[in-house]
Amino acid sequence: MNARLSVNKTHFLNDSLMKKVLTPFLVACTCFVNAQQKIDAGVIKDKMQWFADARLGIFIHAGIYSVDGIDESWSFHNKKISYPDYMKQLTGFTLKNYNPAAWADLIQESGARYSVITTKHHDGVAMYDTKMNNLSIVKTTPAKKDMIQPFFEELRKRNIKCGAYYSLIDWSYPDYPGFLKDSSRYIVGNDYDRWNRFRNFFQGQIKEICQKFNPDLWWFDGDWEHSAEEWESQKVRTIILANNPNSIINGRLQGYGDYETPEQNFPVSRPAFNWWELCMTTNDNWGYHHDNNWKTPYEIISIFADAISNGGNLLLDIGPKEDGTIPDEQVNVLKELGAWNKRNGEAVFNTIGGLPQGHFYGPSTLSKDSATIYLFLHGSSGGNLMIKGLSNNIEEISVLGSNAKLTSKIVGKISWSPVPGLVYINVPQQALDKYVTVVKIKLDGPVKLYRGHGGLN
């Protein structure tokens, strides 16, 4: 970002250039470095608007792996457990306490604008009544019910967008090549008849999900095992958009997705494509697991602030138990996140990515007209904060949540120089949020930033 800014001969970042640099819709170099090279960002930008504004989604990994609390699908693929022992979990998956309305209430309380749930993981077990084979929780578990339809119905009652996770790979299907990490059933190039049978199967399931649930968002996984040509990625995209032209597709379809999906590790520099989403667990596992390495509410909120500061979303994962209940630790995190969002939502939702690096040492966002800056202060970061290169006049400063009014001091402004002074704002300890404090700075117009080298430059 800094390299592109340096070509501005006046060394000031005006409103027009600010929007080009900071909005989620216009990112230079999309034609050079991004994984969605088959998709024209300009064509999809209208349907992507709700996603750009949403900022927060809740991921749900529900599956038979929750019965024993083991790695989802990977436990047998990586030979931690035998395949027959893994599949024995089918007999223990009950959903006896499943309450989709309560799930939707919790998601709404978190502040999330969308939710994504597993319709089928790599183990091939469908979480709905698929007609393509008999491997589903409806036909092969004591639950004997479809998880997806009632959950989507409850989400839609609350105006929450519905996302379907679907694994392209299926390690249980007899005509899928892959099975265990050190063995495969066959090589695609040697047996296209089997591969075509599998393609008809998985594309048939995609058509089922389209027709049954009409997802607002598709979250594919497993594309790394085959090429776009082998998956027929363009055809898959066409199937989905023929059913719903406004469906959004994540970035795991070998170049035919609408946004990037970094996983677990926070990107140091923002992904290259126009829209992106960080998917992250609340402990170290996606599904329910005997794993007590829980992230704290502060850690989740600080990660969330960094994501939105970089123009992205956070898709935060929870893993329900086999009976359909959600672990208390995850309930607590979502409730605390929701309470924080209620205090600070103005700085989160319907905003754009914040100031370029070097102007403020922390996360920030901007209002869509870029006339308001929101600064995020982690933990107990009170005292004087500093903004560099702000050419605007400040009209008002306040702390979201408490609405405490703050004042600023300009340091180092020289009358004969166009270079703005440093802005210092004192934030008293009593005004701080217990997790992350948001300082709102209302400007006299769209933000204008100085990007020069000081002096007369």
The residue type at 164: A
Number of C-beta neighbours around residue 365 at 10 A: 27
- What lies within 8 Å, CB to CB, of 438 at 6+ separation is 343, 344, 347, 374, 375, 376, 377, 399, 400, 401
pTM: 0.91
148 close to 127: Cβ distance less than 8 angstroms: yes
Name the CA dihedral angle for 249, 255, 259, 264, rounded to a multiple of 10 degrees.
Answer: 100
Tell me the pLDDT tens digit for each residue of 101-149. Answer: 999 999 999 999 999 999 999 999 999 999 999 999 999 999 999 999 9
120 close to 205: Cβ distance less than 8 angstroms: yes
State CA 326 to chain mean position distance.
20
* Structural domains of the chain sorted by starting position, each given as residue range(s) with its CATH number in brackets: 2-18+354-450 (2.60.40.1180), 53-347 (3.20.20.80)
Tell me the pLDDT tens digit for each residue of 52-94. Answer: 999 999 999 999 999 999 999 999 999 999 999 999 999 999 9
- What lies within 8 Å, CB to CB, of 122 at 6+ separation is 72, 73, 74, 77, 167, 169, 170, 171, 221, 222
pLDDT of residue 267: 78
pLDDT of residue 225: 96
Tell me the pLDDT tens digit for each residue of 249-273. Answer: 999 999 999 999 999 988 787 788 8
Take residue 84 and report the two structure tokens written for it: 């027959």
266 close to 306: Cβ distance less than 8 angstroms: yes
pLDDT of residue 26: 34
CA distances in angstroms from 266 to 29, 121, 262, 308, 317, listed in the order given:
21, 24, 7, 12, 15
Least-confidence region, from 298-307, 376-385, 439-448: 376-385
* pLDDT (average), residues 219-223: 98
pLDDT of residue 3: 30
Tell me the pLDDT tens digit for each residue of 228-247. Answer: 999 999 999 999 999 999 99
SS3 content of the chain, % helix, strand, coil (to 5): 30, 20, 50
* pLDDT (average), residues 384-413: 95
Read off the pLDDT band of 15 (50, 70, 90).
Answer: very low
CA–CA distance, 86 with 336 (Å, rounded to integer):
35
pLDDT of residue 456: 66
The residue whose two tokens read 């924080």 is 340
- Checking if the pLDDT of 443 tops 70, the result is yes
Take residue 307 and report the two structure tokens written for it: 């994501």
Take residue 327 and report the two structure tokens written for it: 């672990």
CB burial of residue 409 (10 Å; 0-12, 13-18, 19+): exposed
- What lies within 8 Å, CB to CB, of 43 at 6+ separation is none
- Checking if the pLDDT of 395 tops 50, the result is yes
* pLDDT (average), residues 384-399: 96
Read off the pLDDT band of 414 (50, 70, 90).
Answer: confident
CA distances in angstroms from 162 to 103, 247, 349, listed in the order given:
13, 10, 18
